[in-house]
A = this chain, B = another copy of it.
Amino acid sequence: MECIIKSMNLQAVARRAKVSTATVSRVINNLDVVRPATRQRVAKAMQDLNYHPNPHARTLAGGKSRTIGMIASNMENPFFFDIFQTLEEDAHANGYEVVVANTGYQPGKLLSSVRMMISRRVAGLAVIVSEMDPALMHELQASKIPAVFYDVGSAGRHITSIKVNYQRGIELLVEHLYSLGHRRMAFIGHDSALGPTSDRERAFKAALARHSKKLKSVVANSIDGLDGGRQAMRDLLATGFNPTAVVCVNDFMAAGALRELRDRGLRVPHEISVTGYDNIKLSEYCFPELTTVDIPRVKIGHIVFESLAGAQGREIVLDPELVIRTSTGPIPASIKIR
C-alpha cells in the first residue's frame, strides 16, 4: 500500500481554507491583520492537512532564517556546552533554532564555519572561540549579520562583544596560592592559535610578576580535554621543575591533570595544589574538588541571545569570581623549611 505523500504546501492550505496563499502566509507569520474568523479557518486547514511550513522556502523568500549559529572551539568541553544550552533554550522559546559548528581551535575551521553560517543566512551568529582570524571580522561586518564575540574581537556596528576579565581571574588564583605560601607555580594551557605564548599564559606570568620578579614558572600545553590535561601534567613533571602549585587554563584540563597526579601518588593538595577555571559542573565532581574561578555561563548564554535578538553593538565585561575548594592548600611542610 504505497502512499505518495506529496508534502503539503501553502497552496493546498489556501485551497482548503478558501483563501489566498498570501493570507495563509499572514496567519503563519502571525500578522494581526487577518480577521479572526479567517484565521480560524486557515488554522483548521493547517491542522487537517498536518501542514508544516518549509523553512528553506521561508528563508529563501524572506531573506532571513529563524536559525542562530554558534561557533565554539570545543563543544566537548562543558564550558561551551553550557553556553550553548542556555542559548538554545532562549532561542527555542522565541521560535529560533540554533546550529553549532566546532572549530577544534583551528583558525581554518573558524573561517570556514563563519562562511557556512553566512551562506546559511543565520539570523545571528555567536562566536565563542579562542582563535582569531583577521578575515573573519571583515566578512562578518560585510554580511551585516548580528554577531556576538566572546573573548575575542571588539564591538562594532552589529557586533556585540562579551569579555570576561580572564587576567583578573588568574590573578585571584595566583593570589590565593601565593597567600598559601606557594612560590613555585606552573601553568597548564591548551593549544590555541594565538602563537607560542597565549594571552592566558601571559596573564599567568603577569600575575606572578606582581608578587616578585624572581618567581620562576614553567608552562606545559596540550590539547584541550581530559587526556590533554593529563598529558600536560606528565610533561610538566618531566621537566624536573617541581611546582608546589599548578594553575590550569580550565577545569576540563585540570580534571585530566588531577588524574595524572593521582596515578603518581602525589596527593592533592597536600603535596601539590591544582586550580581550574570556569567552574563547570565537573569541577565539583573531581577528586579533590577543584578550586577554580567562576565564569557565569548561563548569564553569558542569555546575553548572547539578547544581543542577537535585541540590543546589538554593546560591549559587555564580566568579572570572574574565585571559588575555593579542596584542590588547593598550604605548601607541603617539607618545603616550608626552606
Contact = CB atoms under 8 A, between A and B. Distances in A.
A5 interface: yes
Contact of A285 (B99, B102, B256): B256
A331 B273 CA distance: 34
Nearest to A100: B100
A55 B120 CA distance: 6
A99 B119 CA distance: 16
Q: Is the interface of A mostly helix, strand, loop or mixed?
A: helix
A60 B56 contact: yes
Q: A-B pairs with the 7 shortest C-beta distances?
A: A287-B287, A56-B56, A52-B119, A56-B59, A56-B60, A259-B285, A99-B99
Interface stretch (A73-81, A147-155, A168-176, A196-204): A73-81
Interface in A205-242: 225-227, 230
A33 interface: no
Contacts of A259: 284-285
A255 B285 contact: yes
A65 interface: yes
A282 to B, nearest CB: 7
Given A3-B142, A226-B285, A65 B76 contact: no
Given A57-B60, A226-B285, A255-B285, 5 more contacts: A54-B60, A55-B119, A56-B57, A56-B65, A259-B284
Interface in A33-80: 52-57, 59-60, 65, 75-76, 78
Contacts of A99: 97, 99
Contact of A81 (B57, B60, B76, B281): B76
A115 interface: yes
Nearest to A260: B285
A143 B6 CA distance: 9
Nearest to A62: B56
Contact of A102 (B5, B88, B286): B88
Nearest to A82: B76
A56 B142 contact: no
Contacts of A118: 52
Interface string A79-123: 001000100100000000101101000000000000110111100
A262 interface: yes
